[in-house]
Amino acid sequence: MSTQQQNAKSFCIYESRHETMVVSSVSEEKGVETSVRPAKFLKPYGKSISQVTSETTISHITQQRKQHPEIHFKGWKNPQTKWGDWSESLSGKHAFTWNQACICDALLSSLYKIQPNTPLILGLVEYWSPKTNTFVFPWGEATITLEDVMILGGFSVLGEPVTLPVTDDMLAMEAKLVELRRKMWKSKSKKADQHSWIKLFMEELKSHELEHVGFLSLWLSRFVFPSLPDSTIGTHVFPIAIRLSQGTRLALAPAVLATLYHNLSLLKEQLVSSFKESVTVKGPFQLVQQWAFERFPILGPKCPNELKLGEPRAARWHKLKSCASDSFIVSVLKSVENFQWRPYAADLKNWCFVSHYKENDQLVVDSSNSTEELRSFGVCLCADELDGLDCVEKYMPYRVAMQFGMDQHLPGKFTVMLPSCNENFSFYVPSRCYKPSVSLEYLNWWQKSKLAQEKDIVKPEKKVEDSNFVQTPTALDKICMSDSDILMIAKQYCEEESQKSTPSSENSSKRNISTKEEIKEVESNSLVVGKENNAIGHTKGLLREVVKQQHDAGTFDNPLDVEDYYACTTSLGTLFHPIDIDN
């Protein structure tokens, strides 16, 4: 088959077109600066705003409970005392096999201790949307991608699925592992705990035929697909461990990311709907924190460790603590200026750039003939359904295209874009120096979606049985109100006050006249566009006095953290643009 015939059958996962792109935000009065230029968008993208459904609604935790429960991260494990010794003793004999299976970096990463920062994880979960598997920040969407899991965890995105059933030649070894585990359950400990597992192989079964697969079983159970009950060896990892011990390359990254997505959604659900004093989740949440340190450097340790040649990215955070306070974390997450779109393309001492990070952009027409690293990046760009061991999650990189250096357009309806391993596909790799931006249509959609959510928030609450009582807004509601909403509530409040009072008819008449004059004055001042409205400010002050006696309550499906939306948008410099293109 000729090269032209191969290219004709190539499936393209992006589209290049001339589009009106946002250059930079200017001001609320002048809008944004735009230019028409060639842009490259990930598929699937929306054809028009009317075709794009708003899926960015999230339920905020802070509105549901006064304080967070204690979080038990059962999958967040640090290396055991003898884990390093066992790894070193097997590395000389099995390093070639580990390299074949592409797990060298992942095994190395398990030797480093990542100190948990629970407030940071909770701060991120506040913005998590299970509908899109993205963090919906006030300025736009971001998420943990396959590229993050590949670089931070050292897991491969290429290879055979981890969910393949065992073959006949694997059954005998699996039966031996199951029997060994069963004997441990009959011991004094009454479980196949990981500490006893290491001791058994390092003391009694040294150089045994099962030692290598036993080592990989512990690694998988502790660091990759954590087991429950806690700190035990799970039978669910035996087929995977056997394949890896034979040098078979498995696509661990998609399965790990599916597990993370699933457990982020479970944690969000428990925090929103449950009022338990403690919450338990599994999954390698240390990857979530590493992602936060890379994307929001200001939230990480002040002086990350300097990488040595050959060390994985996780070594930067070994035994370091982040002392960011709760309030500081909240303020940092609200500003796009603190977010790094492409941290792995930036200069870092002793960090070897992978092949797709080049000074010039690349067009990969034939992915089947590209390098493994380049093809891995192409897979990271494809929307897909990720198969975990006990879950299936949607992966939507087209919603966070700027994390890959691609321009951001309207997010389309989810469609699996990843071709089968036998199919060829073409993709685009931006220059490592390229600064992506959003299309004007995307910007308009984001604003429309944001305003729709705000409108839902300021809908009047249901009145109680007493028809004379008009429920006032919460402190959270009042910040997001438009001028017209404030006028309406001001009228209601004035009417309520006039009805409550029982003065003489003369005083009542004077009060009604005064009230009408006040409302008329407010309505007149509200017509002034672009200037500070003194009447509106006065009404807001009036409302603040009213809501002092009312506690925050209820749930909010809002794509933005509206706890202080007005302050947030003001600090960003403009109400028009959700993303700072210059960052």
Pick from 132, 133, 136, 138: nearest CA to 149: 133
Task: Extract the tokens encoding 30.
Answer: 């002048």
* Sequence-ordered alpha helix ranges (H) in 274-325: 286-295
Write the secondary structure of 319-348 as one string of H (helix), E (strand) and C (coil): CCCCCCCHHHHHHHHCCHHHCCCCHHHCCC
Full-model pTM? 0.77
Q: What is the CA 553 to chain-centroid distance, rounded?
A: 26
User: Of 174-183, 362-371, 457-466, which one has max mean pLDDT?
Assistant: 174-183
For residues 162 and 252, is the Cβ–Cβ distance under 8 A? yes
For residues 431 and 361, is the Cβ–Cβ distance under 8 A? yes
Residue 434 is predicted with a pLDDT of 93
% of the chain with per-residue pLDDT over 90: 49
Q: What type of residue sits at position 429?
A: V
Task: Extract the tokens encoding 374.
Answer: 């380049």
Pick from 61, 63, 42, 32: nearest CA to 119: 61
Note the pLDDT tens digit of each residue in 409-441. Answer: 999 999 998 765 556 889 999 999 999 999 999
Note the pLDDT tens digit of each residue in 189-222. Answer: 667 888 889 988 988 888 788 999 999 999 999 9
